[in-house]
Structures are given as C-alpha cells and as structure tokens.
Amino acid sequence: MATRAKWSPKVVQTVGRAALELASKHRAELEPRLAAGLLDGLKSDLDDFENKRDDASNALGTLMAATRAQSAVAEEAVELLVAAREALRRARTPEKYTDEFGLKSRPNLTVVSTVRSALSAFTTAAARYPEVVRAAGLLPSDIDGMVELRNALIDVDAKQEAVKARRKEPVAARTALQVRIEKAIDAIISAGRLAFVKRPDVSQSFKALVPAPASAKKKAEPK
C-alpha cells in the first residue's frame, strides 16, 4: 500500500474535484466497479484536505518563526563572542590560555551547538581566570551576558525541536489523506476507462484526468 503522495497538494485538489465531477456524471456506470462509498468518501476527503493543508502550512510557519528566533539569539551570541575574543587578542593574552578560552574554534551560525560550545568554553575559562578577562577590559556583566545567551540558545533550541516534532503530526495526517485521495482518483480513472471502452470520447475524458508530469508541461510550453 502506497504511503507517499505522488502529486503536489494543489494538483490533488484540482484533479480530485474534476474526477469527482466526472464520476458523479457517470455514477450509474461507475459505481458497480468502485468500492462502496468511494465517491461520497472522496468528496468528504477533498473537503477535509484543504483544512489539513492549512494545518500543515501553519505548522511550517511556526517552525520558521522558531528558527528565526534561534538565529537571532545565535547572531547576538556570536557578535559578543567575537568582540570578547578580539579583546583577549589585543590584550596579548598569553598563548597558554588560547585553548581554554576556545579562541581557535569557529562557531557556525547554522550549527547552533558550535555557538553554545564556544560560549561555554569562554565562560568556563573566564570563571577560572578572572584576571585574564579583566586585563582585556571585559567586565563580569559581559560574561554574565554570555551565560544568558547560552541559556537562551538552549531554551530556543529545545522549543524549536518541540515545534519540529509537533509539525510532523499535521504533515503526516495531510499526506495520509492525500494518498487516500490519489487512490480514489486512480480507481475512478480505471473504472471510467473500463466502463466506456466502446465510447472512446468518454473513456478519454477519464484518461485525461491523469496529471501530466512537470517535465512534460515544460516541454509543452511555447518558447
């Protein structure tokens, strides 16, 4: 049994409505070849599908908002971290402290864990060698700011993961419904082709329900 959708959501909605309309027109000929209640079920599924699309879109919007919040905190953290590191270098901090303050690491904004690690290394070393950071012009409030940003990153990261987990639910529900709709459309196409073998014009109208592949559409477009 198929578990993956084969058409885009927009195509499914359009083709599904067209298939339902055509099947309803020839209901008497098709129903003996279709599973009981398929046409009524398809109508209900198509009505429900639009709501499922909205749920999935809303979940994506929430995830994007969470990602933006995470990126904003990470950017602020890296900006403070870079300034603090440069202060140590300008103060000609002895090289023996380089590794402990994590001066050789390169935090990556797209990999939040690297930013957290860099903050942790710097704040841990600052607590161990307060005279080093003080000599570079850093104040306790600067270090406290790093700790707060690290904790904020942990918090927003946890929230983002929770949003990701919740987003899977509406997406999975929409996909399952779409697969069922596609299966009903395929059944209607097959039933229509068989029922009207001796009426090629009607049979062709069912065959025409099959969406053209994207590549075929591009070739058909005039240049």
pLDDT tens, position by position, 109-131: 888 889 999 999 999 999 999 99
Give pLDDT < 50 ranges for the chain: 215-223
| CA nearest to 83, candidates 130, 155, 143 | 143
Cut 0.85: pTM above it: no
10 Å Cβ neighbour count for 103?
19
Per-residue pLDDT, 4: 83
For the chain, how far is it from start to end, CA to CA, in angstroms? 40
Percent of the chain scoring above 70 in pLDDT: 85
Q: How many residues does the chain have?
A: 223
Which residue ranges make up each domain of the chain?
Answer: 9-31+38-209
